């Protein structure tokens, strides 16, 4: 169904100028909202760039860039010789609707701040509370659906200068950790039957983030250079618009870093096969080998959706994560984020801002030196006390992946717990069924704790080996 130019200008994108950000992103956000609300139905043809630009008082280049954003986000599709059309997006339209409370809160935040706000029946400030040190620096009702402006700015600076991912505060949505970020993202883009490709072994929480969405999790091999792109290429050629999940900075749990050549090849595969790339940067900034710091895929292609958290570099108890997505997806993700959780914790955000501002290059260098020492210690201890295990030293991150000479490591993991050491068996990180014989070990404990842990693992392994030898 076609709508005329006047309908798009006066109805579908009405009010686009009042939105935040550059003009092409304002217009893209207005079109996206029209699609999400059902106002612009799947199959509807958008106006040609030049007439729309003239009607809105914009340059044609601005409208062209807006359409490019919408194509990258999967909102519209171009058909050569026919025009630009709204795509059907079942994964978006089947997600839970935004609650009235979250919609009201987002509308309140969007106001200029000068209106008297009686819409929120919560304390308007902290004046009535005891004067506690942890509350100083907080103000207002503390509800910011996308995150406080201070934290979004601090995260943008962190991503830009520490992780080599140029980012503005407007691109950031704060979440309660990377797991929450992946869950929100899955609600937006994973529809029943849609394939999600991941290197295997993979992040143990990925399956949980996809739970209930009906997507198919498919594993492809990972080696010391990261996910094998040829395997991704073969898989995507057989799948309609798949999602590719990659933790490029440190593949969990192996610690492999995606090489630059493979990163470029992966971007090419995604573009050629209409695949959506999701880049997990939760372990970015923690290289354990010397060499060039990898450039995130999201820094090379704005259509890549990046997620991450402060749990690995700082502290898991902060529960601070983030999403950096194309402008056309931003509003939809924010609605999903606030539909189940009105806003992230203000005290956690305040502490995160303070930490991000306090750390410097010397602090990070000391942290990496400690992690490299822990890696060397664990790898040496495992080689000495558990020579039957195959261990590849991680190039980045906080984990060591060990392969045991058994079919499955679940039984051994239960036994190790009886010896006082808890490890993650490979089944929790396996999407293909071929890595159940591995275990994931953390590097983040103290030297003394790690030494005691390997002693316990060795004793448990001896017990396990004796049980295996005695079994018929």
Residue 207 has φ and ψ, to the nearest 5°, of -60, -40
**Quick one: average pLDDT of 418-438?**
93
Q: Give me the CATH number covering residue 274.
A: 3.40.640.10
- Whether residue 397 sits in one domain with residue 339: no
> Which residue, of 358, 379, 400, is where some domain finishes?
358
Give me the pLDDT at residue 89, please. 52
Q: In the predicted model, is pLDDT for residue 343 greater than 80? A: yes
First-to-last C-alpha distance (Å) of the chain: 70
Instruction: Give the domain range for residue 453.
Output: 362-470
- Whether residue 255 sits in one domain with residue 342: yes
- Residue matched to tokens 């090489």: 259
Residues forming beta bridges with residue 400, ordered by sequence position: 441
Give me the pLDDT at residue 112, please. 45
- Whether residue 105 sits in one domain with residue 64: no
Decide which of 120 and 13 is more confident: 13
Q: Is 255 helix (H, G, I), strand (E, B) or coil?
A: coil
Give me the pLDDT at residue 144, please. 87
- How many domains does the chain contain in total? 3
According to DSSP, the β-strands at 305-309 and 276-280 are parallel
pLDDT in tens, 346-382: 999 999 999 999 999 999 999 999 999 999 999 999 9
Whether 114 is covered by a domain: the verdict is: no
**Range among 123-127, 139-143, 387-391 with highest mean pLDDT value:** 387-391
> Model-level pTM?
0.78
Q: Is 95 left (phi over 0), alpha (psi -120 to 50) or beta?
A: beta
Give the strands of the sheet with 305-309, arranged side by side: 172-175, 321-324, 305-309, 276-280, 243-246, 195-200, 216-223, 226-227
- Whether residue 172 sits in one domain with residue 275: yes
Give me the pLDDT at residue 20, please. 76
pLDDT in tens, 221-272: 999 999 999 999 999 999 988 999 999 999 999 999 999 999 999 999 999 8
Give me the pLDDT at residue 90, please. 42
Element (H, E) at 280: strand 276-280
């Amino acid at each position: 169904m076609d709508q005329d130019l006047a309908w798009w200008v006066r109805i579908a994108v009405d009010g686009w100028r009042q939105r935040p950000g550059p003009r092409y992103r304002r217009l893209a956000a207005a079109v996206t909202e029209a699609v999400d609300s059902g106002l612009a139905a799947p199959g509807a043809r958008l106006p040609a760039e030049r007439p729309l630009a003239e009607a809105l008082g914009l340059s044609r280049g601005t409208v062209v860039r807006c359409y490019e954003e919408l194509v990258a986000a999967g909102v519209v599709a171009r058909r050569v010789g026919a025009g630009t059309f709204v795509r059907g997006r079942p994964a978006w339209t089947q997600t839970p609707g935004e609650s009235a409370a979250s919609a009201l809160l987002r509308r309140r935040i969007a106001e200029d701040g000068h209106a008297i706000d009686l819409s929120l029946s919560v304390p308007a400030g902290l004046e009535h509370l005891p004067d506690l040190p942890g509350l100083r620096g907080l103000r207002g009702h503390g509800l910011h659906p996308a995150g406080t402006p201070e934290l979004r700015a601090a995260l943008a600076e962190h991503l830009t200068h520490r992780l080599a991912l140029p980012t503005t505060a407007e691109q950031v949505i704060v979440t309660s950790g990377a797991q929450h970020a992946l869950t929100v993202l899955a609600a937006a883009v994973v529809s029943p039957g849609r394939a999600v490709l991941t290197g295997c072994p993979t992040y143990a929480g990925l399956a949980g983030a996809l739970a209930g969405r009906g997507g198919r999790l498919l594993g492809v091999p990972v080696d010391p250079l990261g996910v094998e792109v040829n395997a991704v290429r073969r898989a995507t050629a057989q799948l309609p618009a798949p999602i590719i999940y990659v933790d490029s900075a440190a593949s969990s749990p192996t610690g492999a870093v995606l090489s630059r050549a493979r990163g470029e090849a992966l971007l090419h595969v995604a573009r050629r096969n209409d695949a959506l790339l999701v880049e997990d940067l939760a372990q970015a900034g923690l290289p354990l080998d010397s060499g060039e710091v990898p450039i995130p895929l999201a820094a090379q292609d704005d259509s890549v959706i990046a997620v991450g958290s402060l749990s690995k570099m700082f502290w898991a108890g902060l529960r601070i994560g983030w999403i950096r997505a194309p402008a056309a997806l931003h509003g939809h993700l924010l609605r999903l984020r606030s539909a189940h959780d009105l806003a992230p914790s203000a005290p956690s955000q305040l502490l995160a801002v303070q930490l991000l501002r306090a750390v410097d290059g010397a602090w990070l260098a000391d942290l990496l030196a400690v992690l490299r020492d822990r890696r060397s210690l664990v790898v040496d201890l495992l080689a000495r006390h558990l020579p039957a295990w195959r261990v590849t030293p991680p190039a980045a991150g906080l984990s060591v992946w060990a392969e045991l000479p058994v079919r499955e490591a679940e039984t051994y993991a239960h036994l190790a717990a009886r010896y006082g050491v808890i490890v993650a068996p490979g089944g929790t990180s396996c999407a293909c069924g071929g890595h159940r014989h591995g275990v994931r070990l953390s590097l983040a404990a103290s030297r003394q704790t790690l030494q005691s842990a390997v002693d316990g693992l060795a004793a448990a392994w001896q017990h396990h080996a004796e049980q295996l030898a005695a079994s018929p």
